[in-house]
Structure 1
Amino acid sequence: MASAGARAQAFGQTEINWDKLDKTKFYVVGAGLFTGISVALYPVSVVKTRLQVASDAEKNAFSVIRGILKTDGLPGLYRGFGTVITGAVPARIIFLTALETVKVAAFRMIEPFNLSEPSQAAIANGIAGMMASVSAQAVFVPIDVVSQKLMVQGYSGYATYNGGLDVVRKVVKSDGIRGLYRGFGLSVMTYSPTSAVWWASYGSSQRLFWRLLGYGTEHEVTPPSQWKIVCVQSAGGVVAGATASCITTPLDTIKTRLQVMGNEKRHGAVQVVKELVMDEGWKGLYRGLGPRFFSMSAWGTSMILAYEYLKRLCMTED
């Protein structure tokens, strides 16, 4: 059938399964690629975190940036970066391994239901994204706690530290190991749905874009060019980032506030919500939406292009 052939030509050149990858090369080269992207986009995460705990004087990203540059200079935009990079490598290995293996299994599981291709992609990618995020949280949450404390240290009454190890030492001393997992439940509730929504949106939107371009129909069977593949993947990354940021920002705001609290402010999630709503109304839950939207769209697009390029680079010969 022509439509099946078109789909095979379009997706066969953009979808590379886990069993076709050189795993060693995938992990080594991937660590370098994603570290480079992290260097470029990390300041956006700092600004987003500062906005979520900002005083009334700093209600937008530009005022936060001005404040950081005024007090700390350019290095202020990279507070906590060393900690993030140290923990990102094992967390990313766990995430990507779970993502690819679960995605293959999920596609096989839903195949008998004969759903449309965008629906299959949304479900399989969503399940894979959620399971990958849950798997990586054991490593990611302590890194997140430490890095976010470093991001806001000395700001508006928050404690100061002498690097990531000092944060770990003080947190463990005051709260034990569980202190490094403060907000773990909310992190799972935030990042797992975020990851599920992101990968589901990416998988389904990419296929919808291909259909709009004529692939998957009886009229277009010409294999897509590399430029067209990159454009479709970029568009999918933007759609995924926009969708995920809009849906999950309130949970991220609550989680961030819980994680940067000092010992003198031991509030639960419900109390944090009450304070935000009391001070600013429901819009307070969307503090940092702009930077988070930009971060997730920019990170998502950059990440997915690097990720798809990495898979092509590490594909084994048949």
Structure 2
Amino acid sequence: MDASNSRVQSVGQTEINWDKLDKTKFYVVGAGLFTGVTVALYPVSVIKTRLQVATKETAERNAFSVIRGILKTDGIPGLYRGFGTVITGAIPARIIFLTTLETTKIAAFKMVEQFNLAEPTQAAIANGLAGMAASLSSQAVFVPIDVISQKLMVQGYSGHAKYSGGLDVVHKVLKSDGVRGLYRGFGLSVVTYSPSSAVWWASYGSSQRVIWKFLGHGNGLQEAPPSQPTIVAVQAAGGIIAGATASCITTPLDTIKTRLQVMGHDQKRSSAMQVVKQLVKEDGWKGLYRGLGPRFFSMSAWGTSMILTYEYLKRLCAKDV
């Protein structure tokens, strides 16, 4: 094993390299596991999206009032509007994302280790580059799914149009705007999700190593490998830190992007700058942070659940050597 691979697998052998995975099992089992995580946390995305597109006249101004409104009008199914579309598109998007993430991470570690930086810094740079590359590569699939699902999430809410399903959204968007309508907000999605992904993975990679050093692993103070519960706890802590960091940095861009994407066919087309002016006019600069609470919870919960599922999946799919 070369130096870069050993670096990626450092910290008590808690990380499993891409070349050590059974890829078929990884993709098949992963589809099932991540679908389960999506089922559990999808309602948070619906609430966050509704808060971001609410107008000044909308009565539902916080997460709890949004939940009450959804349950009153649509019941539990209302919390899962657009879910079918998301699941359909999430599988290919996630395959592209994870494949790019893992392969890029190895190359990035090889590139940065020559600079002899501290291990947390190397991990932050390598994971950040991998996260950004993975996000960029999956945007072609993710953005149309995002546009369709978010229109379904807010249909009938605060003056937004109603649809009979995902295909109806596609038909109406293509009719009014052509294919480019499905990629509305693509530039902002790239600007939002790529840095967000980079920040998330950089924070996760570096925070793990800082925590391990704090616990005495990786610095010669302890020779025994960490227990499985300790590994899971450190990974969960890293996920929470990463989600909190990324949400605070990227919420304004996410709010602007969401408003652009859910704009109705009969509404006057607005630019990103016009959306910013409208948000500031309605709520001041804090308007750019609409939905920060749900987004903070969403990114932390999604991130922690996703990373624990992902790390478990890698252990489950590791080849027997």
The 1-side partners of 2:11 and 2:319 are apart by 18
Asked whether the equivalents of residues 9 and 221 of structure 1 are also in contact (C-alpha less than 8 Å), the reply is: no
Equivalent residue runs for 1:131-280 within 5 Å: 131-263=133-265, 264-280=267-283
Amino acid of the structure 1 residue aligned with 2:39? V
**1:13 Cα offset (Å):** 2.4
Query: Runs of at least 4 residues of structure 1 off by over 3 A?
Result: 7-10
Cα deviation code 1:261-294 (max 9, x no counterpart)? 0132200100000110111111000000000000
CA distance in 1, matches of 2:237, 2:12: 19
How many pairs were matched up?
Answer: 312
CA distance in 2, matches of 1:161, 1:9: 48
Q: Is the Cα contact below 8 Å between 1:69 and 1:76 reproduced in 2?
A: yes
Name the residue aligned to 1:102.
104
The corresponding residue for 2:32 is 32
Report the AA paired with residue 315 of structure 2.
R
Deviation, structure 1 residue 216: 2.0
Alignment partner for residue 316 of structure 2, among 289, 309, 313? 313
Unpaired segments of 5 or more residues in structure 1? 1-6
Paired residue for 2:4? none
Residue by residue, what CA displacement relative to the aligned partner does 1:103-151 show, whole Å, maximum 9, x if unpaired?
A: 0000001111011110000000000000000000000000000000000
CA–CA separation in structure 2 for the residues paired with 1:18 and 1:265 = 47
> Is the 1:91–1:136 contact (alpha carbons within 8 Å) kept by the matching residues of 2?
yes
| Counterpart code for 1:86 | T
1:291 matched to 2:294: yes
| Cα distance in 1 for residues equivalent to 2:293 and 2:72 | 22
Residue equivalent to 1:4: none
Contact 1:10–1:215 (Cα < 8 Å) also in 2: no
Amino acid at match of 2:311: E
CA 1:9–1:121: 2 relative to 1, 3 Å: closer
**SS at 2:208 equivalent:** helix
Instruction: State the SS of the aligned residue for 2:152.
Output: helix
Distance 1:202 1:14, change over 3 A: same
Q: Identity over aligned residues, as a percent?
A: 80
Distance in 2 separating the partners of 1:64 and 1:235: 29
Counterpart for residue 306 of structure 2: 303
* Paired AA for residue 172 in structure 1: L
* TM-score (structure 2 length as normaliser): 0.95
For residues 83-104 of structure 1, what are the alpha-carbon distances to aligned partners after superposition, in whole Å with 9 as ceiling and x for unaligned? 0000000000000000000000
Q: Which runs of 5+ in 2 are unaligned?
A: 1-6
User: Offset of 1:55 from its aligned partner?
Assistant: 3.3
Q: Give 1:10 deviation, angstroms.
A: 6.0
Q: Does 1:11 align with 2:11?
A: yes
Partners of 2:263 and 2:219 in 1: how far apart?
Answer: 54
CA–CA distance in structure 2, aligned partners of residues 218 and 179 of structure 1: 56
What is the deviation of 1:11? 2.1
Q: Deviations over 1:16-58 (max 9, x none)?
A: 1101000000000000000000000000000000000113422
